[in-house]
């Protein structure tokens, strides 16, 4: 028997990601289409605690599909990690008879949703919204595609000046624990080398690779550094390399939060719409404590427990090999 869900709230939590607004739009309109009263929570879990919960109608999400960021805003909330915070949030939902909660975000968001559901029996559904692409159960997370395109566009511009001045650029991209952005952007931009958290590339190996390129008269070089690499950030690595290899003038660029912003790609707009649509329908089927994700070309569910504990994304072996083969 299907649960008698009448009211659903949606929130975005943790780091913002392009495509979140497309997802919010799909959640709200899918719920309304099915006769559900929809609510938006401002500032993520902090909004649950602060009772910043507002009704939404179909017009509340007009003209947002192309916007980056999140119209619901987002925040990191330490109070939600406490028992008192969870209790306050539940009372605020209970006062509005909200039966289901859809949480869009990454592993921190899912951890909060899991604790909330276990303590108070709230029906929750997770949507993977993070540019890092580091959640188990979805081949692509929301915002990942746009972030890569943003990085590539920046690298293309940097290469113009690198070629003009015979320079070596170290470009740091996001990815504390995951090298997904770094690996794909390296292939797509034709970078000479890439440093990933998952691989222990030494400075010696990097210098040897750069020397090989210089010996074949490369006019410039681009090295992509994932922020979580064991040898340090782009500035640290550039300094170590410069001490041993000064063939080029060396520069460093940190792309930082630039990667999170901007209008979402068509892929992320469609993915956000599919995930939002699926999340509401899964709640209406009676499912809870699950995450909807893209696997192949299908939207499938994974338990939030699996999404958190398996927490792995295997970097494609062919792409890893191509970073060496295509950079000669």
Please state the residue numbers annotated as binding site for ADP: 25-29, 159, 190-192, 218-220
Please report which residue ranges of the chain form alpha helices under DSSP H.
20-33, 44-49, 83-95, 107-120, 144-165, 180-189, 203-215, 234-242, 266-285, 304-309, 317-325
The question of whether 132 is a catalytic residue gets the answer yes
- Catalytic pick among 132, 134, 145, 268: 132
| Residue found by looking up tokens 């320079």 in the block | 167
Q: State whether residue 21 is helix, strand or coil.
A: helix
Q: Degrees (nearest 5) of the Cα angle 147, 259, 173?
A: 95
Q: What are the b/e assignments for 255-276, b being 16+ CB within 10 Å?
A: beebbbebebbebbbbbbbbbb
Integer Cα distance of 40 and 48 in angstroms:
10
Binding residues for ATP: 15, 76-77, 106-109
Integer Cα distance of 96 and 219 in angstroms:
64
Nearest residue to 23 (alpha-carbon basis) of 179, 175, 150, 138: 138
Within 8 A by CB and 6+ apart from 257, the residues are: none
| Residue found by looking up tokens 């410039």 in the block | 220
**Which of the residues are catalytic?**
132
């Amino acid at each position: 028997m299907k649960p008698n869900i009448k009211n659903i709230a949606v929130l975005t939590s943790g780091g913002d990601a392009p495509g979140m607004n497309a997802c919010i739009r799909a959640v709200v309109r899918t719920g309304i289409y099915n006769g559900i009263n929809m609510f938006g929570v401002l500032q993520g879990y902090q909004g649950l605690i602060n009772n910043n919960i507002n009704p939404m109608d179909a017009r509340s999400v007009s003209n947002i599909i192309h916007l980056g960021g999140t119209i619901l805003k987002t925040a990191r909330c330490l109070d939600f990690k406490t028992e008192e915070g969870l209790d306050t949030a539940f009372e605020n939902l209970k006062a509005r008879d909200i039966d289901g909660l859809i949480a869009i975000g990454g592993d921190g968001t899912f951890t909060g949703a899991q604790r909330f559901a276990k303590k108070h029996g709230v029906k929750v559904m997770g949507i993977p919204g993070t540019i890092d692409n580091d959640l188990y159960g979805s081949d692509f997370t929301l915002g990942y595609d746009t972030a890569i395109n943003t990085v590539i566009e920046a690298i293309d511009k940097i290469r113009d000046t690198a070629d003009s001045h015979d320079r070596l650029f170290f470009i740091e991209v996001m990815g504390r624990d995951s090298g997904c952005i770094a690996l794909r952007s390296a292939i797509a931009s034709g970078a000479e080398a890439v440093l990933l958290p998952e691989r222990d590339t030494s400075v010696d190996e990097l210098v040897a690779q750069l020397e090989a390129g210089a010996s074949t008269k490369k006019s410039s070089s681009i090295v992509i550094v994932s922020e979580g690499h064991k040898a340090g950030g782009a500035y640290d690595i550039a300094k170590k390399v410069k001490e041993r290899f000064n063939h080029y003038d060396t520069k460093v660029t940190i792309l930082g939060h630039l990667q999170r912003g901007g209008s979402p790609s068509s892929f992320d707009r469609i993915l956000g719409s599919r995930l939002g649509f699926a999340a509401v329908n899964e709640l209406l089927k009676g499912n809870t404590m699950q995450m909807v994700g893209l696997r192949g070309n299908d939207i499938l569910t994974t338990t939030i427990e699996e999404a958190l504990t398996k927490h792995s994304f295997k970097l494609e072996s062919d792409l890893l090999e191509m970073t060496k083969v295509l950079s000669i």
